[in-house]
Amino acid sequence: MTRADIERLHTLMQRCFKHDGPYTLSSGRTAAYYYDGKLATLDPEAAALIGEALADVVLDLGAEAVGGPEVGAIPIADAVAAAAWRRGRRLPTFIVRKAPKGHGTRTQVAEAWVPDPPLLGRGRRVVIVEDVITTGGSIQQAVDVVRELRCELVGIIALVERHESERKALRHLGVPVLAPFYTDETGRLYIDEDFVRRAEAAAAAVAAG
């Protein structure tokens, strides 16, 4: 990821904000602005840049799989997996459903095929991704599911940390909780320079093998 890449992604991400609130968020809270991450994660240019921004960090955390809650995490995990593949690394993905399926396998997860199934099994190192952190509720639910499956959680990454974020509420999980972007109370979007420095260091580590 270059500086130009993160700045271009920042530009594209700004299109995801609406400032004509008030809006009611999924948490039930009211906010002056609304962030719709799918406007970026479902766009091919932005998705490619998201993958490049996150892949080295995910790999450097030692992840063997990446995924998160439906629906927000799905295109993010796929973008990260594609970027990892471009680095010669296979990083399977998974989805945590809001509830177990009512038919078929009746499971709460969907996962990629791996030669040593299941993907989400004892000791598998995973990173949870999501499009935004506000209360952290959807992330916590996904964490609970993968830990019940005896996976090892090694990190959490959201694209955007809202100004009222309760990232601190996730610190009890004992893993890095990261975001490349954050907002202020007006919905203005900023690049998290700590994340950029971490991504640069991770890229060097991944390239060195």
Selection from 22, 18, 40, 41 nearest residue 31 by Cα = 22
- Does 168 fall in a domain? yes
Q: Which CATH number fits the domain that encloses residue 148?
A: 3.40.50.2020
- What Cα–Cα distance (Å) separates residue 135 from each residue in 14, 36, 60, 139, 176? 21, 16, 26, 9, 16
Chain segment 169-193, per-residue pLDDT in tens: 788 899 999 999 999 989 999 999 9
Domain count of the fold of the chain = 1
* Percentage of the residues of the chain whose pLDDT score is greater than 70: 99
Domain range for 160 is 3-202
Please compute the mean of the pLDDT values over residues 184-209 and round it to a whole number. Answer: 95
Contact between 202 and 60 (Cβ < 8 Å): yes
Question: Does a structural domain hold residue 208?
Answer: no
Please provide the distance, in angstroms rounded to a whole number, between the alpha carbons at the two ends of the chain.
17
* Whole-structure pTM value: 0.94
Inform me whether the pLDDT recorded for 103 exceeds 80: no
pLDDT tens sequence across 31-86: 889 999 999 999 999 999 999 999 999 999 999 999 999 999 999 999 999 999 99
Q: Which amino acid is at 39?
A: L
What's the alpha-carbon Rg for the chain, to the nearest Å? 16
- 209 inside domain: no
Distance (Å, rounded) from C-alpha 93 to C-alpha 43?
Answer: 19
Phi then psi for residue 35, to 5 deg, are -115, 120
Cα–Cα distance for residue pair 184/190, rounded to 1 Å: 8
pLDDT at 170: 86
Q: Is residue 34 part of a domain?
A: yes
For residue 45, is it within any domain?
Answer: yes
Using alpha carbons, list the distances in angstroms from residue 33 to 5, 17, 163: 25, 7, 11
Q: Specify if 207 maps to a domain.
A: no
146 belongs to a structural domain: yes
